[in-house]
Amino acid sequence: MWNLTLSDEEFFELRNFISQLTGIFFPDSKRYFVESRVRPRIEFLGLKSFTDYLMYLKFSPLRKEELEILFRLITINETYFFRDELQFKVIEEAILPEIIESKPRNGFRTLRIWSAGCSTGEEAYTIAMIFLEKIKPRFPDLKVEIIGTDINTAVLEIAKRGIYKQYSMRYVPEDYIRKYFKILNGEEFHLVEEVKKLVRFTQVNLMDKFQMVMMRNFDLVLLRNVLIYFDENARREVVSMVYDSMNRGGYLVVGYSETLRNLTKAFKVVYFDKTVAYKKE
Ligand SMILES: C[S@@+](CC[C@H](N)C(=O)[O-])C[C@H]1O[C@@H](n2cnc3c(N)ncnc32)[C@H](O)[C@@H]1O
C-alpha cells in the first residue's frame, strides 16, 4: 500500500498549479478538501503519490483529459434558480430595460447575456425565464442570446439536459413552475424547450486568455459566486477580461456578497435597492 498523504510541499505545489490554471486558490484551511477530492483519483490511476500525480498532470500524453477530470474534482458548483432573487428583480426592472432602451431601433434588437461560471445552468435559465415572462411582452421586437460557460464539463452536461431536482427549485415562483417545467415522477423538473432553446452552454476557463478574447459584445454579464474562490491577482485579471467582453452601456453583476472594490476602477458603480451593479460607460 502506498502512502497517499499530502505533504506540505505537495500541497503548495498542487495549489499553485491549480491557481495558475484556474484562478481558484485553496487556503491552508481547504487542504483536507483538496486531499480528499484528489486522492481517490490518484488511487484509481495506480499512482504512488501526489508528486507523481502532479507529474502526470504536467507531462502525461493524457494531461488534457486529466485536467478536465481535475476541474470536476476541485470546483464548488452550488447553485439554484433565482439565487439572490433581489438581484434578478433589479435586472428585470431596471438593468435590462435600460440596456434595451439604449439600443438603436434599426431592425431587430438583440440582447447578449453571459452567465460566467454557470455551473449546472440555473442562473442562465433563470434569466431566460425572466426574459420570456417579463421582457419579451414589453419589447416584442427583441431577440436574446444567453450563453452559459463553466470550466467544469460535467456541470455543463447537466445544464444542457435541463432536468432538475427539488433542491434547485426552492425559489422558483409557482406560476413559473407551472409554465416552464414539466414535472416527472413528482421529483424531476424538466425545463420546457421554449426556455432551453434560448441558452447555449460551452466550456470556457475564465483564466484562459485565448478563450476569453472570443467572448465579446455582451450587454449583461453575471459573474456571481465565482471570484470568491480566486486569489486577488486572478480576480483582477478576470474582471479586466470580462470588462473587455462587454458592450458600452452594459452591466456586470457579481454575487450578492461580492464587490469589485480594490479590483478595478473601470466600471461605474450603480446603486439599486439593496444591491449594486457595475456599468461599463
Ligand atoms: C458556486 S458556482 C456559482 C454558480 C452560479 N454562478 C451561481 O451564482 O449560482 C461557481 C462556478 O464557477 C466555476 N468556475 C470556477 N473556476 C472557474 C474558471 N476558472 N473558469 C470558469 N468557471 C469556473 C465552477 O466550476 C462553478 O461551477
The answer to whether residues 64 and 108 belong to one domain is no
pLDDT along the chain (281 residues), means of 10: 85 98 98 97 97 98 98 98 97 98 86 98 98 97 97 98 97 98 95 98 98 98 98 98 98 97 96 95 96
The confidence score (pLDDT) of residue 105 equals 80
Would 180 be classed as within a structural domain? yes
Would 147 be classed as within a structural domain? yes
Domain termination site, one of 52, 74, 96: 74
The answer to whether residues 129 and 187 belong to one domain is yes
Q: Which three cell numbers, joined as nine digits, stand for 31?
A: 487542504
Domain termination site, one of 49, 74, 99: 74
Would 270 be classed as within a structural domain? yes
- The CATH code of the domain that includes 35 is 1.10.155
Number of domains in the chain: 2
- State the CB neighbour count (10 A cutoff) for residue 72: 16
The confidence score (pLDDT) of residue 107 equals 75
CB–CB of 88/124 below 8 Å? no
The confidence score (pLDDT) of residue 157 equals 98
Q: Whose CA is nearest to atom 12 of ligand 1?
A: 117
Q: Which three cell numbers, joined as nine digits, stand for 189?
A: 423538473
Ligand 1: nearest atom to the Cα of 205:
20
DSSP character for 192? Answer: P
Domain termination site, one of 53, 74, 95: 74
Ligand 1: nearest atom to the Cα of 207:
19
Q: Which residues contact 24 (CB under 8 A, 6 or more apart)?
A: 18, 74, 75, 229, 230, 234
- Ligand 1 binding residues, C-beta < 6 A: 22-24, 75-79, 83, 117-119, 123, 150-152, 155, 205-207, 224-226
Domain that holds residue 206: 85-279
Rg (CA), the chain: 20
Give dist(CA 276, CA 268) in Å, integer. Answer: 10
Identify the CA nearest to 79 among candidates 153, 165, 197, 174: 165
**Mutational pocket test of ligand 1: of 226, 241, 275, the residue with most ligand atoms within 8 Å of the beta carbon:** 226
DSSP character for 268? Answer: E
The answer to whether residues 23 and 62 belong to one domain is yes
